Chains A and B, each alone.
Chain A
Amino acid sequence: MRQGAGAPGAAAPARRRLPLAVKFAVASVGLVTLVLLINGGINVWLNYEEAKRTAVRVQQEKAQAAAERVDLFISDIESQIGWTTRTEWRRVPLEQQRYDFIRLLRQAPAVTDVSYLDPSGKEQLKVSRLEPDQVGSGEDVSAEPRFRDAVAQKVWFGPVYFRRGSEPYMTIAVAHAGRHPGVTTAEVNLKLVWDVITSIRLGQKGYAFVVTSAGRLIAHPDLSLVLRDTDLSRLAQVARALPARAGGPIPASTSEIVTDLDGNAVLSAHATIGRVGWIVFVQSPVSEALAPVYAALSQTLALLALGLLLATVAGTFLSRRMVVPIRRLQEGAERLGSGDLAQRIAIRTGDEIETLADRFNQMAGRIQDSYETLEAKVEERTRDLEDTVQVQTATGEVLGVISRSPHDLRPVLDTITATAARLCEAPDARIHLLSDGTFRLTASTSDASPPVDGPGATAERAARELRIVHEPDPAEPAHDPDGPCDETVRTVVSVPLIREGVAVGVLTLRRATRQPFTRRQIALLTSFSDQAVIAIANTRLFEEVQARTAEAEQSLNDLRLAQDRLVQSEKLASLGQLTAGIAHEIKNPLNFVNNFSTLSADLIDELTEVLAPVPLDDAIREEIDALTGLLKGNLEKVVSHGKRADSIVKNMLLHSREGSGEHRPVDVNALVEESLNLGYHGARADKPGFNVILARALDPSAGQADLYPQEITRVLLNLISNGFYAAAKRQAEEGQGFEPMLTATTRDLGPQVEIRIRDNGTGIPEDVRAKMFNPFFTTKPAGEGTGLGLSLSHDIVVKQHGGMIDVATEPGVFTEFTIVLPRAAASARSGA
């Protein structure tokens, strides 16, 4: 609403609007103007036509008048000539005739020559202004038209001619009265028509002119035009007048607007003088001729302007009066639009605008009412929306926690209880989860120890009935005897966490006031319980997956170990066979070496006995004794080393010996104890200063195992002597502060038994570990080890007994060999 009102208000200044007053004024003024213009236009047109008609009529009248005056000029001359045309004039004396002619010349200035032609056509008398008078010249002009036509027509007007090509002249011949008449002819200088023409006044600039029937100019105010021999037949108005003459009836007079010689627009009218065939034109400049028209026009324009002015004033005034209340209305509406709903528009014009203002006021009232309602609604909706957003956020939070800790249920449940408590405005929210058949409190918002230890009656009911229990249930106002057990708790709701049809837990909220939970809150709790179920399921699933993964990893490790062991065994087996083969081949030559060296020593003793009785020089004897002593010593070394080689060979041969000795059930602990004693004393025998702490951790339940006791003893001795060696080596490196120690451990593994020999010696470097079970590999100085000990031990444990030997070591800290032997190892093996 507010927005709608605001938008046009904001747009208004951008787009320029024509105010209503202007529109109104323009409309009214325009209408009046239109009417005035049409009226004025028609008026002007009518006036113009009327004035033009009048002007034309006047012009035609002037033309007629001018023609009459020109005609009068001719008539005058004609009548002057008439004095000489009386019947008896022929008989008057010549001198009298001359006087008459002289008088004629005096009376008619335009006549330059006058002649009397007797009835036979001979000139009897001629009186001229320019020539000497002639009497009785007798010139025969009877054939000339001036005589012939004059006799025939009584009066004859000759064609206009021009003396010296300049001045217009015309012959007028008048026949005398009576039978056989003579003729008086007069030459008339038409230049004098100019006097007539110029005396015709036609306004300020109007003028008249005369042309012949051929269009030749006879008279014109500008005399030079006449004298210049001007042909006007090309002039439009003249040209139009001429054919009319040539053709049928002669139009008495016509008029039109044309251009004159100078190209000015003129109103032209003409009239003809019938008997001479001349045409008299009168022309007035259009501006002058139509001056009344222009006067009327300007009058009309003035009236129009006045009308326009009045219309403008009236229109402006009226529109202002109309617009003021409308503007007030507009201002009121604008204030309404800007939100001032309390505003009321006060207009008392008593017309529709007042009604409109009242309607506006009513509308404003209604808008105000509905606006208030609307605000409340908006508030409510906003609250709802906020709630929803909160719920969404909470749900999102819970989901976030679920996703963040898939393996840990606790944070999820904590979040759920905290959020539920916050959103449902119940300070006490708890989740009990089913564990070993009972519901245990898993998450709670109250830090203090729960007021009740168990889940509570409502929770148990909810878990049992698999539905939400709400107490007091607003739908069931009846008091529940099983109601809240705690006095401080007035309202409880329990939502079961149902998974696969079984309640795995209960979400319970408590309020200290008696205020039922709303439907929305319960719905929220339901969704929280669902999320809790999901989280529980997730966690379980996660744990299962982890367990399975661990199992799989374990299997894989076992498999790898077995594989390695297999590879090692095979390798060692083949090496053992090789070693045995070599030993077998070496044994015979070695026996020869040993036997013959022993024999040679005996032979040296025999040689000494043989030589003893023989008297010999002392020096020689001494030399012989020395030599035999050296030989004997050498032979003893040969014997000694031969025996060592023999023992190596024997050891080598042990590889090829399978199941050597007997196998029988042996007490493992006793075996270990015996080996320790043997090893310790052996070491003490080798190195008298040697001392070591022997620790024993013998499992009493180790029991017996079916073994080759000699072989296992060898193995243990081997490991023990290695341990002593490493410990001694470390002691040698670190000095007296170091306490060498060797631990022997047995452990019952059910079908197997485990023996561990651990020393705190130098440890085994990583690179050695990989190769230490290889035959002939040794780290001891040459002569101290054969490199076969561990190889042989591996052979015995793995191949002979089907057990397992492994080593765990940390260089500089400890080494621990572990032997695992099946209790029925030897029997199973021998059986196989």
Chain B
Amino acid sequence: MRRRDLVLLAAGAIAASPAAWAQGRGSPFRVAVLGSVAATNPVSLNELAWLREGLEMEGWAEGRDFLLDAAYADGDYGRFPALLGELLGRRPGAITVGTIAGAKAAQAASRTVPIVMLGLNDPVRTGLVASLASPGGNVTGLATQNEDLQLKLFGLMQEALPRARTVAAILNPENPSNPSMLSAVARAAAAAGLSLDAVAIPSPAAADGALRAIADKRPDVVFVLPDVALAGLLGRIVQAATAMGAPTIGTFLELPEMGGLLAYGFMRRDTVRRAASFLRRLAEGAVAADLPVEQPTAFRLIVSVRAAAGLGLAIPPSVLARADEVIE
């Protein structure tokens, strides 16, 4: 055998191994970012920015070590397959997804390209992974633990708004995790003797109608279930709720800043940044099936006294005592 053949063989071996790729740094690691909402939506902007931050914190430089190819469905999940076809055409090293629908579409499009969740609800129950410890497929990344938090959030709502009697729960029916969360919250509401109306916003286009429907019911509180599409609509939801004099509560920590009353949840920024470590490990040859899904380690309670004052409400001290952040 000639020496040149050996070299070619070695080169082939290196090319075949992603780990070798990472060491070789022959070309940047291409990350396909599958966005569910519009590109201009703060959710999308934040997500992309935090991902960059996270990758740079891992010591990577954009262009040299990684490339981000983002594609956005603008809330229309039917566009996922087309977007994925486009993204996969660029032969990405991994796909990041922000929604379960996106993850499922990516899974449908490719069973081999690793899919990194940027904080998804209940990946086990929605069938994205076999278990947190061993995902088993090509999906891994970060979970939100939101499915555990809804009852806690509901309890905090009760504590903060002891007089609230009607609750409008907004959910995205396209999100497979939302129905089970809704039913848990509904059970808690029923146990507490509250009435709960579930309002579905399957797409941005349906938002206005849904918000008008809520306004018709004049609920005491608007409870937004965790969904990225809904997060993209938070401004409008808060605006509508405020207009009808109802405080907004949810797991999105941005909520109080946008005029909402109270938010309790994981720090999305940390989670998205943390996803960079998954990308790095994947680039170094780790297999998605073996990378355990990570859950958030910290949850924050943010309370907006300003919003409460605007609505003529008073936040009980026990809630304020517990709050990690209070917006005056």
Contacts and interface: CB of A to CB of B under 8 A. Distances in A.
B131 A165 contact: yes
A189 B158 CA distance: 27
A128 B152 contact: yes
A795 B197 CA distance: 198
Contact of A166 (B152, B286, B293, B318): B293
B14 to A, nearest CB: 19
A131 interface: yes
Contact of B321 (A99, A132, A223, A224): A99
A106 B154 CA distance: 20
Contact of B299 (A98, A129, A192, A224): A129
A165 B132 contact: yes
A189 B297 contact: yes
Contacts of A166: 131-133, 292-293, 295
Interface in A103-135: 103, 106, 109, 128-133
Interface string B142-174: 000100110110111010000000000000000
A99 B319 CA distance: 10
B49 interface: no
A164 interface: yes
A29 B247 CA distance: 93
A164 B152 contact: no
Contacts of A132: 151-152, 154-156, 158, 188
Contacts of A95: 318
Interface residues of B, number: 30
Nearest to A110: B297
Nearest to A131: B152
A349 B133 CA distance: 88
Contacts of B298: 109
B53 interface: no
Interface string B134-146: 1000000000010
A164 B131 contact: yes
Interface residues of A, number: 26
B318 A164 contact: no
B46 to A, nearest CB: 24
Interface in B293-325: 293-295, 297-299, 318, 321-322, 324
A231 to B, nearest CB: 12
B318 A167 contact: no
A293 B295 CA distance: 43
B124 A102 contact: no
A501 to B, nearest CB: 108
A621 B290 CA distance: 194
Given A132-B151, A227-B292, A227-B294, A98 B318 contact: yes
B291 interface: yes
B281 interface: yes
B297 A224 contact: no
A129 B149 CA distance: 8
A234 to B, nearest CB: 17
Nearest to A132: B155
Interface string B240-255: 0000000000000000
A191 interface: yes
Nearest to A165: B133
A227 B152 contact: no
A228 interface: yes
A128 B155 CA distance: 11
A130 B154 CA distance: 11
Interface of B: 124, 131-134, 145, 148-149, 151-152, 154-156, 158, 188, 281, 286, 290-295, 297-299, 318, 321-322, 324
Across the A-B interface, the 10 shortest Cβ-Cβ residue pairs? A132-B155, A227-B292, A166-B132, A166-B133, A130-B148, A228-B292, A102-B322, A229-B133, A224-B292, A165-B133
Given A129-B299, A166-B133, A166-B293, 11 more contacts: A99-B321, A109-B297, A129-B152, A131-B155, A132-B155, A132-B158, A164-B131, A166-B292, A189-B297, A223-B294, A224-B286
Interface of A: 95, 98-99, 102-103, 106, 109, 128-133, 162, 164-167, 189, 191-192, 223-224, 227-229
17 contacts: A102-B322, A103-B321, A109-B297, A109-B298, A131-B152, A132-B154, A164-B131, A165-B131, A166-B133, A167-B132, A167-B295, A189-B297, A192-B297, A224-B286, A224-B292, A227-B293, A228-B133
